[in-house]
Amino acid sequence: MKRIIKKVAVLGSGVMGSRIACHFANIGVQVLLLDMVPRELLPEEQAKGLTLENKLVRNRIVNTALQTAITSNPAPLYEKTKASLIKTGNFDDDLKGIADCDWTIEVVVENLKIKQSIFEKVEQYRKPGTLITSNTSGIPIHLMAEGRSEDFQKHFCGTHFFNPPRYLKLLEIIPTPYTDPEITQFLLEYGDLFLGKTTVLAKDTPAFIANRVGIYGIMQVLHVMEKLGLNVDEVDRLTGPVVGRPKSATFRTSDVVGLDTLAKVAQGLYQSGEKDEARDLFQLPAYIQQMLEKNWLGDKTKQGFYKKTKNAQGAPRFSRWT
């Protein structure tokens, strides 16, 4: 079967979802980007006399996320005019729009129950035969397919992009025992030929390939840092360009990924690694727990290991958290 991708639905407009949407727009694909409906009004919305039923309010989360992505650096779009290919909406009002999509990509929070509830709703509207994939960072793909229809399971797979999706080459394709091999092969080829990725076939093991290795490396650094009494700047100077790695090094990379995502993957590896010789390494240091409690999650909250501010000229700068 010749499969053509003309329109993609991206469910979840966070750091990853909004940028995945932008990258599909980069190659001329129409995108439906959806997220939650806000539960409360902002003070400025109240001042304007808006209600929770107003469309501007109902789409506030997704529209804010998309605008943040469009103006972010590094730019997720080849050119900003490509944003016109992205239509926004919310899960309550617009999920039915996935009936017109060739591929639905779930990119919501790293929580199995939430993902399963999303897929239950997706199955009400999804057209049989269309692709459905998850961008989870480490939740077992087969668990998300449980309870779904035969057609859903046949066309379901993990497609793990890395942040920022426009620039990082790796795309992991993670099939389940139910995934049609033709679907797996299509995704491997599509990622390579159209999305410009180095596609890698991964087994449905804890955190797949890259995050199993990458999170191990980051957790190793976190524990060594604590043991040696190093600070954030010292570690980033030692783990960046001086050893042939990007200038984002360890902690700026963690801020981009999101401390919440890093923590969830690490906790998942600890819980699923009863026989893993490095299991204890995935326990979070106390200072990471403190940062999570303060909602210092990185770029998404404008403060993590570094705090994003502006200098006198209005240019962004990063000051280290101590």
**Beta 156-160 vs 86-90: how paired, if at all?**
unpaired
Judge residue 310's burial from the number of C-beta atoms within 10 Å of its C-beta, 0-12 exposed, 13-18 middle, 19 or more buried.
Answer: exposed
165 shares its domain with 217: no
Q: Of the candidates 139, 138, 131, 182, which has an alpha carbon nearest to the alpha carbon of residue 157?
A: 131
In whole angstroms, how far apart are CA 240 and each of 165, 197, 245, 252, 258? 21, 24, 5, 10, 18
In the block, tokens 């963690």 appear at: 254
CATH number of domain containing 311:
1.10.1040.10
Quick check: helix, strand or coil at residue 315? Answer: coil
Rounded Cα gap, residues 300 and 219, in angstroms: 21
The predicted-structure confidence for 122-166, as pLDDT tens digits, reads as follows 999 999 999 999 999 889 999 999 999 999 999 999 999 998 999
Residue where a domain terminates, one of 201, 227, 242:
201
194 shares its domain with 311: no
27 shares its domain with 81: yes
Residue where a domain terminates, one of 201, 232, 256:
201
Q: What is the model's pLDDT at position 319?
A: 59
Identify whether 1 is part of a domain.
no
CATH number of domain containing 53:
3.40.50.720
DSSP class per residue in 37-54: PPSS--HHHHHTT--TTS
145 shares its domain with 56: yes
196 shares its domain with 216: no
Backbone angles phi and psi of 134, in degrees to 5: -120, 140
Identify whether 2 is part of a domain.
no
81 shares its domain with 21: yes
The predicted-structure confidence for 185-234, as pLDDT tens digits, reads as follows 999 999 999 999 999 999 999 889 999 999 999 999 999 999 999 999 99
DSSP class per residue in 246-268: -TTTTHHHHHHH-HHHHHHHHHH
Residue where a domain terminates, one of 201, 224, 254:
201
Number of domains the chain is built from: 2
Residue 170 near residue 162 (C-beta atoms within 8 A): yes
Percent of the chain with pLDDT over 70: 96
233 shares its domain with 96: no
44 shares its domain with 78: yes
pLDDT category at 300 given cuts 50, 70, 90 is confident
Backbone angles phi and psi of 131, in degrees to 5: -75, 145
* Mean pLDDT of all residues belonging to the chain: 92
The predicted-structure confidence for 27-44, as pLDDT tens digits, reads as follows 999 999 999 999 999 999
193 shares its domain with 218: no
Identify whether 139 is part of a domain.
yes
178 shares its domain with 214: no
In the block, tokens 């000051």 appear at: 319
144 shares its domain with 291: no
Rounded Cα gap, residues 54 and 273, in angstroms: 47
Quick check: helix, strand or coil at residue 187? Answer: helix
What pTM, to 2 d.p., does this model score?
Answer: 0.88
Identify whether 316 is part of a domain.
yes
Domain that residue 276 falls in: 210-320
193 shares its domain with 220: no
